[in-house]
Amino acid sequence: MYFRKASSNDTHQILSIINQAKLYFKKQGINQWQDGYPDINIIAKDIQQGESYVLEIEHKIIATAMITTKKETSYKNIEEGQWLQHGSYMVIHRMAIDTRYKGKNIALGFIKKAILSHPGVKAIRIDTHENNLPMQRFLEKSGFQYCGIIYLSGKDKRKAYEKLL
């Protein structure tokens, strides 16, 4: 597996994986990513800012996510809990795995490679839709702790998790 920053040449492969995730959510009755987000403009912006990453096997992208070490505005206020620490942290957003590779520990491998590529961060923070039970189970199984509720852009409720490194 090869982990790297995405380039503009990867946009359509990334969008294809994102669209697979949207369809999965729809079939599961999870109201996440059902309003057009994320779209090609979001993906292009992530790439332009150097915050889009992919995982490849034999030159084929099988996983994608946006990773940043910038402070996440939506994480400033957390309800019904608290963050585990207040130092530096990495945020993972828009994580998606090609459906042909689900159940093969690709997400865990992706996170491990993300940690290695961002030395010095003290924690990883991630959020997910309250009905995305598969992601919540994955996070808890992978050592993330549930920390509370955050709101994206002040409206979309998400369950927030953190893992100390």
What whole-number distance in Å separates Cα of residue 40 and Cα of residue 60?
Answer: 19
pLDDT of residue 31: 87
pLDDT of residue 156: 87
Domains and CATH numbers, the chain: 2-164 (3.40.630.30)
**Which residues are registered as beta bridge partners of 161?**
126, 146
pLDDT tens-digit profile, the chain (165 residues) = 899 999 999 999 999 999 999 999 999 999 889 888 999 999 999 999 999 999 999 999 999 999 999 999 999 999 999 999 999 999 999 999 999 999 899 999 999 999 999 998 999 999 999 999 999 999 999 999 999 999 987 688 999 999 999
User: How many residues make up the chain in this entry?
Assistant: 165
pLDDT of residue 154: 60
**CB of 44 closer than 8 Å to CB of 18:** no
Closest to 102 (Cα-Cα) out of 10, 38, 27: 27
In this structure, the strands spanning 90-97 and 123-129 are parallel
**The whole model's pTM is what?**
0.93
Element of type H or E holding 93? strand 90-97
